Every structure is written in C-alpha cells, then in structure tokens.
Copies of this chain bind each other. A is one copy, B any other.
Amino acid sequence: MKELREKILKEGKVCPNNIVKVDSFLNHQVDVSFLKKIGAEFYSRFKNEKVDKILTIESSGIAIACFVAECFNCRLVFAKKGKSLNQSKDFYEAKVFSYTKKEEYDIRVSKEFLNESDNILLIDDFLANGAALNGLAKIVEDAKANLVGCGIVIEKGFQSGGKELRDKGIHLESLAIIDNADETKQTIEFRN
C-alpha cells in the first residue's frame, strides 16, 4: 500500500532492536482518517472471503480492527492480555512472547464470543516473529472456528513470522513489508 509506505517513511522512527515506531498515526496517536483507508484496503484484499468476525489483541490492534470491522459490517473481539486464569473453563487462552518487551504474557478470549460457525479474520498492527498471531490462531483453532486469514499493517520481513505463516498456507496480507531498518542512518527499506 503505497500511501502507507510513504507515511512510514515520513513519520516512522527506527529505534534500537529494529523497532520501527509509528506511534504518530498507528498505536498511540491514531490518525482516524488514515485508518479508514487501512480498513478499506484490508476489505479489498479479503472481500471475496466470508468474514463473520474480526479478532485482534489489545491495545494497538483495536483501532485498526474497528475500521476493518466497519467495512465488513461485523463485530470485532479483542483478546485481553494478562495473567493466566489457570485454564479457566470460560476462556480460550494462549501464551505469547513479546519481542519488544522480552517477556511472556497470556492472551484470552471469552468462549461466548467465538463460535464453531465463525469465520475469523485476524488483524494486528505488527508482525515480527509471529508470536501474537500464532497465539490468536491457536485460540481460533481451540474454538474450532475457521481462520480466514491475517491482515497486518506492517510486517518485518527480516523476521521469520510472515514466512512461517505463509508456509503453513495461511492467507496473510501485509500492507507494508519492511526488509531493512537502520537505526543509525534512520533508513527503512520496503519489499517490492
């Protein structure tokens, strides 16, 4: 998505550990008019699929998921982060290791909001090692729902998450794929 790549180049900052900060429009301040375009782009890429529900993770996935769900005219569910509830019967749970924060956390979704008949589209802001997406995919599997695909705003192509998901045959759409991010030079290179 050309407009997204331009926005990342204009507003993004490369931080240590290859972290690309885009908190001026995506995950702290939210540029709502731009996110509506992001939502429309995901819709155009998945509109031939049946999508009953959007699933994301708090917090930075929520705003994006809102505008995707608006396009599909469906509900969204956001997985909650927190300590495990010790295999609660009321929740689907998964463990996620955060690359940014170097710590493991649990995500959970109330069983009443995922049904066997649901066709689920996963949405998130970043894909690096795929830990968060794999956690969400496990929850969809545990719910015996159907995983339609994954929509990611920014994929870090130099990490393995995207390749692994594609190798599994999952329909993954990343609106921008960063192949190189140099903190010293503050340069970002995208995949064509």
A residues at B contact (CB < 8 Å): 23-24, 28-33, 35-36, 58-59, 62-63, 66-67, 69-70, 73-78, 80, 109-110, 112-113
Supposing A23-B110, A24-B113, A58-B58 touch, asked if A32 and B77 sit within 8 A by C-beta, the answer is: no
A23 to B77, CA, bound (A): 10
Q: How far is the CB of A7 from chain B (nearest CB, A)?
A: 13
Q: Count chain B CB atoms within 10 A of each CB in A66, A70, A112 and give the residue with the most.
A: A66
Q: How far is the CB of A152 from chain B (nearest CB, A)?
A: 18
Supposing A58-B58, A110-B23, A113-B24 touch, asked if A30 and B75 sit within 8 A by C-beta, the answer is: yes
Q: Which residues of B contact A112 (CB under 8 A)?
A: 24
Verify A66–B69 contact, CB threshold 8 A.
no
Kindly report how many copies of this chain are found in the complex they form together. 2
Q: Which residues of B contact A77 (CB under 8 A)?
A: 28-30
Q: How far is the CB of A101 from chain B (nearest CB, A)?
A: 10
23 CB contacts below 8 A, A to B, read A24-B113, A28-B77, A28-B78, A28-B109, A28-B113, A29-B76, A29-B77, A29-B113, A30-B62, A30-B77, A31-B75, A32-B69, A32-B70, A32-B73, A32-B75, A32-B76, A58-B58, A59-B59, A59-B78, A62-B62, A62-B63, A63-B63, A66-B66
Closest chain B residue, CB of each to CB of A60: B58
Verify A66–B30 contact, CB threshold 8 A.
yes
Q: Which residues of B contact A32 (CB under 8 A)?
A: 66, 69-70, 73-76
